């Protein structure tokens, strides 16, 4: 019977193969760690935790290699995730009713710091991202969001109505054994795939262009844009072409679509999808979106799916959990501000049917969504309008100490735990004037109005009044021309010096022009700003060219050598 027990004779025949391997691993580990980490009793205690002895030996080797202490070995050993999850739930319950459930001697900061550490450990996020999510979501909703990111979103496809109908496509796929359902009441072309015995991306229907593999959330921006037949549309970031082909089928291959993307490599997928789906009204180009208004403009509608940090699609790309830091969010936000301004400049406000821009990202960060829109509202003549989407949560009008434009509640946020789609943000803007405002706006989001007022007040304080300038003129012992030349801007003085003209003559002309303007009642507003710039830029001209310290030392040494010789 080999190593098995004899049912007739109930006597064990000695240790089996696994037991001998366990004993040998213990002996090997004890021999290696003897005198380095601790006693053999501690080693036996360590071996009782996991069953995989090979993993333990590797852990011990890593500990010894790093020169760590025995206490640090517990960081390498497997953690008890069940106890961590129970602790997370307990902390969330305490923080939801803190006054009644908290322990004596502990404040809210202690509970929050422990909760952050547990969330980072259990869900494998970095500290920065967990802190950001705690600012956006309430605690109970945050756990739901993190749990939803651990589950893959259902596979969805979009019917290409240029070649077939959804009913016919669904029947054809059901005949192939595919288990599917309509996406929802809000979409007339979407289908959800639950199970399929054949690859969805390799069926004859797919190769014939009857459908496109596309996430449910990426249908929303095109529905919000609502392109009409015969219009000219710009898709500023078109790759891989799902939104572009959806717009083409809504326009029934009429009008014109310009599909642009900054990456020539990604445009190859756009070309392939356009040919496969039978789209004929699209031109593909490869330009930097920030410079696109210099290439062409005057579009009826623009779709901007801006590059983002991808914090809404963590279920597709788990690397986002640990790879994103604050500098990445700021870099994306700066690029998005540049792109949204160029997208607005590409629009034609006088279009009879359009003048609309849809801005969307697959991020849930406020810095990449509401802050960017608030900046665009102050830099261009645009306003927010309803998206036309029946579901989704309203955008933020206040976040921490920042206050945004009240119309931002017309934007829509989509979350995986609430709507079973990828995290997404959609907003629709209407351009009402082609002129660009000349007012300067602070780029710090949420603080622009207050900072602009401060700069205006500061400018008023710095610009001298008429009475102050008259007093300064009288203090110069009857020589007003001399005092004015001191206050005049630096570039003017340089020009006069080059031309060889005396500054007094120039000032007399300027004074005569000013007197004539006062008689006619005209005000010269540029003078005070020129004086203000002059104060900043003015530097006294040096009589002789100053020699640098290094050059002086060099000449000094040369002189000393010459004297010695």
- By annotation, the residues acting in catalysis are 362
| Structure token pair of residue 470 | 């008259």
| Structure token pair of residue 469 | 């300038």
The reply, when asked if residue 261 is annotated as ligand binding, is: yes
In Å, how far are 2, 205, 227, 245, 551 from 165, measured between CA atoms?
66, 12, 20, 16, 82
Q: Are strands 232-235 and 179-182 parallel, antiparallel or unpaired?
A: unpaired
The reply, when asked if residue 239 is annotated as ligand binding, is: yes
Residues near 306 by beta carbon (within 8 Å), at least 6 away in sequence: 237, 335, 336, 339, 340, 359, 360, 361, 368, 372
Q: What is the DSSP string of 351-405?
A: -SS--EEEEEES---GGGTHHHHHHHHHHSSEEEE----SSSEEPPSEETTEE--
Sign of the CA dihedral running 379, 380, 385, 387 = negative
Give CA–CA dist 260/270, Å, rounded: 10
In Å, how far are 88, 101, 135, 230 from 98, measured between CA atoms?
15, 5, 18, 60
The reply, when asked if residue 514 is annotated as ligand binding, is: no
Give CA–CA dist 142/148, Å, rounded: 10
- The answer to whether residues 490 and 538 touch, using CB atoms and an 8 Å cutoff, is yes
In Å, how far are 99, 455, 491, 503, 530 from 536, measured between CA atoms?
57, 16, 12, 20, 10
Tokens 């000032």 belong to residue: 507
**CA gyration radius for the chain?**
36
The reply, when asked if residue 195 is annotated as ligand binding, is: no
The reply, when asked if residue 416 is annotated as ligand binding, is: no
**How many residues appear in the chain?**
565
| Structure token pair of residue 205 | 């229907």
* CA angle centred on 123, ends 122 and 124, rounded to 5°: 95
Residues near 393 by beta carbon (within 8 Å), at least 6 away in sequence: 412, 413, 414, 415, 418
Sign of the CA dihedral running 225, 247, 281, 259 = positive
What do you get for the CA distance between the two ends of the chain, in Å? 107
Phi, psi dihedral angles at 36 (to 5 degrees) = -105, -50
- The answer to whether residues 73 and 60 touch, using CB atoms and an 8 Å cutoff, is yes
The reply, when asked if residue 240 is annotated as ligand binding, is: yes
Q: What element of type H or E holds 95?
A: helix 81-96
The reply, when asked if residue 305 is annotated as ligand binding, is: yes
The reply, when asked if residue 148 is annotated as ligand binding, is: no
- The answer to whether residues 250 and 162 touch, using CB atoms and an 8 Å cutoff, is no
State the number of CA atoms in the 13 A half-sphere of 413 facing the CB.
Answer: 21
The reply, when asked if residue 565 is annotated as ligand binding, is: no
- Known binding site for S-adenosyl-L-methionine: residues? 237-243, 261, 288, 305
């Amino acid at each position: 019977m080999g190593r098995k027990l004899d049912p007739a004779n109930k006597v064990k025949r000695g240790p089996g193969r696994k037991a001998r391997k366990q004993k040998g691993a213990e002996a090997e580990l004890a021999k290696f760690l003897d005198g380095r980490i601790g006693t053999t009793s501690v080693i036996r205690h360590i071996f009782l935790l996991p069953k995989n002895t090979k993993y333990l030996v590797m852990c011990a080797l890593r500990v010894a290699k790093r020169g760590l202490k025995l206490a640090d070995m517990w960081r390498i050993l497997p953690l008890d995730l069940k106890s961590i999850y129970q602790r997370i739930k307990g902390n969330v319950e305490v923080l939801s009713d803190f006054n009644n459930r908290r322990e004596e001697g502990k404040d809210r900061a202690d509970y929050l710091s422990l909760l952050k550490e547990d969330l980072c450990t259990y869900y494998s996020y970095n500290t920065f991202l967990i802190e950001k999510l705690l600012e956006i979501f309430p605690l109970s909703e945050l756990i739901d969001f993190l749990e939803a990111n651990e589950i893959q979103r259902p596979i969805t496809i979009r019917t290409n109505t240029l070649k077939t109908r959804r009913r016919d496509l669904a029947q054809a796929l059901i005949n192939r054994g595919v288990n599917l359902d309509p996406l929802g009441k809000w979409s007339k072309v979407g289908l959800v795939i639950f199970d399929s015995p054949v690859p969805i991306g390799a069926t004859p229907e797919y190769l014939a262009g009857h459908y496109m593999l596309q996430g449910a959330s990426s249908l929303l921006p095109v529905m919000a844009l609502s392109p009409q037949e015969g219009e000219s549309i710009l898709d500023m970031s078109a790759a891989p072409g799902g939104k572009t082909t959806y717009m083409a089928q809504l326009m029934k291959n009429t009008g014109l679509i310009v599909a642009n993307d900054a990456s020539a490599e990604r445009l190859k997928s756009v070309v392939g999808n356009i040919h496969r789906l039978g789209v004929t009204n699209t031109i593909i180009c490869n330009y930097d979106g920030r410079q696109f208004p210099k290439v062409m403009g005057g579009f009826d509608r623009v779709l901007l799916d801006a590059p983002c940090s991808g914090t809404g699609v963590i279920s597709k790309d788990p690397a986002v959990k640990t790879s994103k830091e604050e500098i990445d969010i700021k870099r994306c936000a700066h690029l998005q501000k540049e792109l949204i301004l160029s997208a607005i400049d590409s629009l034609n406000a006088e279009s009879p049917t359009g003048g609309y821009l849809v801005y969307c990202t697959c991020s849930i960060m406020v810095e990449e969504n509401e802050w960017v829109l608030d900046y665009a509202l102050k830099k261009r003549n645009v306003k927010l309008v309803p998206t036309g989407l029946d579901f989704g949560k309203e955008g933020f009008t206040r976040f921490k100490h920042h206050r945004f434009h009240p119309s931002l509640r017309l934007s829509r946020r989509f979350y995986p735990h609430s709507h079973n789609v990828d995290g997404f943000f959609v907003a629709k803007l209407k351009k009402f004037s082609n002129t660009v405002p000349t007012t300067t706006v602070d780029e710090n989001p949420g603080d622009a109005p207050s900072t602009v007022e401060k700069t205006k007040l500061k400018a008023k304080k710095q610009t001298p009044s008429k009475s102050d300038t008259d007093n300064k003129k009288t203090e110069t012992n009857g020589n007003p021309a001399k005092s004015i030349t001191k206050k005049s801007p630096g570039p003017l003085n340089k020009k006069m010096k080059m031309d060889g003209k005396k500054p007094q003559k120039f000032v007399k002309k300027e004074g005569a022009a000013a007197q004539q303007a006062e008689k006619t009642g005209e005000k010269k507003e540029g003078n005070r700003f020129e004086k203000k710039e002059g104060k900043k830029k003015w530097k006294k001209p040096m009589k002789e060219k100053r020699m640098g310290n290094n050059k002086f030392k060099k000449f000094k040494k040369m002189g000393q050598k010459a004297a010695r010789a």
